[in-house]
Amino acid sequence: GAVVSQHPSWVICKSGTSVKIECRSLDFQATTMFWYRQFPKQSLMLMATSNEGSKATYEQGVEKDKFLINHASLTLSTLTVTSAHPEDSSFYICSASQGLAAFGEQYFGPGTRLTVT
């Protein structure tokens, strides 16, 4: 149980274009979903937290107009990187929590490798 999927697993896009990444909880309803970014040999950095049906909460330093997050249902959240640039190239990972975000364990998706050329 507690399986989270992401699509696509990798994507290459040209500078200036936008790319959408999907995160789905397959066998549970996720009240809260999280988006992380991980650079090589670095720890996971939380970008934003989203609750179904409400606006995402972004971490300090994360541009909300550049990283658009939508959490339209209890099983789907999307991250859209708008006007991507080479410095946005990274490993993006989502996670989902079954219970109250304050106490629930987070289950992670397999990640999406984004390369911007």
Partner 1 sequence: EDQVTQSPEALRLQEGESSSLNCSYTVSGLRGLFWYRQDPGKGPEFLFTLYSAGEEKEKERLKATLTKKESFLHITAPKPEDSATYLCAVQGGGGSNYKLTFGKGTLLTVNP
Amino acid at site 19: V
Contact residue for partner 1 among 6, 75, 77, 78 (CB under 8 A): 6
Cα separation of 36 and 95, whole Å? Answer: 8
Which member of 49, 50, 75, 90 binds partner 1 (CB under 8 A)? 49
Residues 85, 113, 115, 117: which binds partner 1 (CB under 8 A)?
Answer: 113
Q: Among residue numbers 68 through 97, which ones bind partner 1 (CB under 8 A)?
A: 91, 93, 95, 97
Q: Report d(CA 21, CA 90) in Å as an integer.
A: 13
- The reply to whether 46 sits near partner 1 by the rule CB under 8 A is yes
Q: How far apart are CA 27 and CA 2, in angstroms?
A: 6
- Tell the burial category of 36 from Cβ atoms under 10 Å away from its Cβ (0-12, 13-18, 19+): buried
Pick between residue 32 and residue 75 the one whose CB is nearest to partner 1: 32
Does 53 help bind partner 1 (rule: CB under 8 A)?
no
At 97, which amino acid appears?
S
Query: DSSP letter at 54?
Result: S
CB 75 to partner 1: min, Å = 17
The contact set with partner 1 (CB under 8 A) reads 2, 4, 6, 32, 34, 41-46, 49, 91, 93, 95, 97, 101-103, 105-111, 113
